[in-house]
A and B are shown apart, each in its own frame.
Chain A
């Protein structure tokens, strides 16, 4: 089964770019990598999803190298409101289930 590994926590400051890297050594050939954000006492929220190279949306960018064994979520110019837990997910073999790792607790300081 595919498994994800992320740093448990990260700190940064307002206005900085934050990069969170996730390793997923056993990702299947056709599977996408998905990132979610979760604030305390709320359900997770989809941020971005990608298969290879680079994906960008209005919130973040996702960089995936050619071997797809890792991915990096990039948050440009973070603010205090970006303080949250960020989860990197890949599907399990049985299709509809996503593997939830421990997530990265990101704390943004003023």
Chain B
């Protein structure tokens, strides 16, 4: 089945230690998104790619970076995780403005 895959499902890192979360898709969608979701809150868009064009939300901290080496893969890099970055990170894909398909998420714990 076509899907959005996120690895790992659970990630533990230390304060200030860089971490990379990965997302892959078999849907061949041209748009990929990264969201941050904290407990009992709605997902918050960090950035998205339309093909290779990167679009950063104005309030996304510089600590968060992203890479999309090809259509299928997208990475979220957190350069120096702080305690406040502990959250669920969701990857989603869509074809243009159509419905978004979400992965299962990666839960990040910062010690």
A residues with a Cβ closer than 8 A to B are: 32, 34, 41-46, 49, 87, 91, 94-98, 100-103
Chain B residues with Cβ under 8 A from A87's Cβ?
42
Question: Is the beta-carbon distance between A43 and B102 smaller than 8 angstroms?
Answer: yes
Assuming A95-B97, A96-B48, A96-B50, is B104 touching A103 (CB within 8 A)?
no
A97 and B45: CB pair below 8 A? yes
B residues whose Cβ falls under 8 Å from a Cβ of A: 4, 31, 33, 41-45, 48, 50, 55, 57, 88, 90, 92, 94, 96-97, 99-105, 107
Q: How far is the CA of A95 from the CA of B94 in the complex (A)?
A: 12
CA–CA, A2 and B103, complex, Å: 26
> Is B107's CB under 8 angstroms from A91's CB?
no
Q: Looking at chain A's contact residues, is the secondary structure mostly helix, strand, loop, or mixed?
A: loop
Q: A96-B48, A100-B42, A100-B43 are in contact. Are A91 and B101 (CB under 8 A)?
A: no
On whether the beta carbons of A97 and B48 are closer than 8 Å, the reply is yes
7 closest residue pairs by CB, A with B: A43-B102, A100-B42, A46-B99, A44-B102, A43-B90, A43-B105, A100-B43
Instruction: Decide: B100 and A98 in contact? CB cutoff 8 A.
Output: yes
**Docked CA distance A44–B50 (Å):** 20
The answer to whether A102 and B42 touch (CB under 8 A), given A49-B99, A96-B50, is yes
